[in-house]
Structure 1
Amino acid sequence: MSLLLPLPRFDQPRLLAAQMELIDHSFGIGMLGSFLASVLLSAGIIFSTGRIEILWWSATMGAACALAHFGRFYLPARTSEEHATRYAKWMTAHLTGIGTLWGLAGWLYLDLSSVIGTICLLALIAGMSAAALAIFSPCLPVAVGFFLPTIVPVWSVFLGTRDMRYLPMFLGVPLYLIVLLVFAHNYARVARRSIGLRFENRELVAQLRAQTQRAEEANRAKSVFLASASHDLRQPLHALGLFAVSLGRTPLSDKQRELLAHIEASSGAAREMLNTLLDFSKLEAGVVKAQPCAFRLQPILRKLENEFAPLADAKRLVYRTHDTTAVVYADANLVELILRNLIANAIRYTESGGVLVACRRRDGQGVLEVWDTGIGIPPEQHREIFLEFHQLGNPERDRRKGLGLGLAIAGGLAQTMGLQVTLASQPGRGSVFRLAVPLTAHPDEPGSTVVEPVRPGGFAGLRVLVIDDDYSVQTAMRELLTSWGCHCVTAESEQEAVAALAPWVPDLMIVDYRLRGHRTGQQALEAVNAYLGLSVPAIVMTGDTAPNRLRDAQTSGAALLHKPVEAEMLRMTMLKLIRSSCH
């Protein structure tokens, strides 16, 4: 038979280990079945012929099956790559022995004069061979080790008769063996292919996990870089803005006033880009929470028109707003911020024509629309433009065209409210961005979206403690607060601040969030309040945009301002805190 089908070789250890693992799962059932079949054969032979010596054969078969089943547990890590070849050889040897016992039964107890006995014995051997095909085929050498010694002795019995009446068996038995080997070969090939696919899937999953981990690490690194860069840039810009305000309160010539205006414009542009990064970081940190209410859209549209119409005029664009009486239910501040990003983006990418902002009533919703006659967006880019730092038509990264975060922020803010920003565009003809907001009947607080400016009051004699480890910021804050009539004391750390409290108690504290020695403004506030035994109104200023820092800063209980802080915003916040403490 070896001439018909050469004996196969074991596969490589990695593949062989998987094959032996498949066989090992069903090996115990196979051995139990082999023993039970031997018991049935023994019973049939004893009842039909009275030859009780077959019990020795059955006992030997039981011992061989038990040894094979329990003996494998003494092989350490038998299905590992290191020991797979040894386990395969061990199993092949044991199955060859068990197959030999079945072949011996055919040689000794195949009584051709008894039709019933012959049929029973052949049926049991054929059944055991079929079961072996299902269990042992994943590893072809193991299956062949069982088939050959099981079938060949039976064939030799028929050949030994030299009786042509058994011609069908002369041909049928070897044909059955060949069929078993062919099927075993095919099953082994299928098993190898399945195992190979499993290995590939594992490798793909491992690669995907590695790539996902690298992407997450890159994203964390990006966030850390943005936070660090933003913080380091905000510090000098914050001081620059405060110095500019203080400088503007001094006598200046017309030329100096013009130069100061340019300084303030440049500082404002840088502040706008950093605030964009801050908005994006807030979304990543998950600190933006929607607070929906019913409000009128018209005050927001009018406010945005007053803000953006001059920018459009500067580019010789037509800015139009369709008045509306719509009342919607959403977060007014987030809706305003979404529209601000969409309008800024429309003006930035429109060179001729204009921008239209309108609200249409459609199916119980107010659909806010921002139309432009800009460059348009190709269909394949409709999803990508909502990704962070993705820009069209700006390969040179012109800072006047923004950072590529406006649409990402708009989309993220919309998701925070459970809404979606949609887009329709034709390249070369323009785009329209839409935000559908639920309509409602009446506003919760009529006119609540119109923010009246806070009239600055006097700060004469107000005692303010400033804790900041940046000398330029300390100086700028001292100059500004002093010009407002405050009595200002500055400190670099919480220890220095506590030491300065001996002669007086501050009415207000302004602290930087990130201090030296890995200390935070929140810890400085707690230390000062603990020393004084009371809670002093406080403002926490931060240039950090890292998600965890934003979440921590919000838990301080103090008013939170993000650097660079405009002087007017600082004054308004101080007034609110003073008025609140007086009540």
Structure 2
Amino acid sequence: MFFSGRTNRFPVVSADTANFLSNAIRYTETGRIILGCRRRANSIVIEVWDTGLGIPEEKLQEIFQEFRRLRPQDPSRDKGLGLGLAIVDKISRVLEHPIRVRSTEGKGSVFSVEVPLGELALFSEIQGPRMQEAPNGLNGADIWVIDNERAICQGMHTLLSGWGCNVVTALSLEDLLSKVDPRHDPVDMLIADYHLDDDQNGVDAARGVAKLMDTPLNVLMITANYNKELKQDIRELGYFLMNKPVKPLKLKTTLLHLLKDRNAQ
């Protein structure tokens, strides 16, 4: 953690740095690697510098694509699948933590992520009346998430947990049912991506969960498909719909609206 001795504010550090360090070690045969941070008004920029292979200008965006790797100088160390930076990029987009990269081929690279500062609450405050604030907020909401991309599940878990939700994520209906029991476990909202693996979709997954429940299931369907017929079909099922890309603020506002009566039930 990167604490400042002058304030009770601290940065929310993601796992991006670990991936940056791993890549720096992999692609730096000689020289050095530096991990540092720069303080800004309401955030901290965490940087990883290396004196490794460097990246050609035309490949700077390509490295964030799945299954894309640069060839390290020692092939025996090339054991990655090329998913690391792709996952980092997706999680960072969900959390709105900007990632930047600068590189000179043959000289090295600098990877950075900017993370916000948070408030470090005192123990007495945690135990105090603030725990009772915002009775109609998301604190304590039970939310299940189905998405076939593990990185999105990780990002959604981090995001929703930060809003006080109790979160269970799964890659498929079967995965979800191995973690929860819809007959007995409480759930306020199921968030499902429409496109899943193995010719499955979020609508079928939602139906699979709903048929095991005695009470209606609230469903928020997320899709990159802008087809009007699909939108109409989802709405006729009584599901709520959001199109990608989903911004955290928009998602939070939507959940607050959909769950506004949760505590009054």
When the two structures are superposed, what TM-score results if normalisation uses the length of structure 1? Answer: 0.23
Q: Report 1 or 2 for greater relative contact order, CA contacts < 8 Å, sequence distance ≥ 6.
A: 2
When the two structures are superposed, what TM-score results if normalisation uses the length of structure 2? Answer: 0.48
Between structure 1 and structure 2, the one with the greater Rg is 1
Greater fraction helix? 1
Greater fraction strand? 2
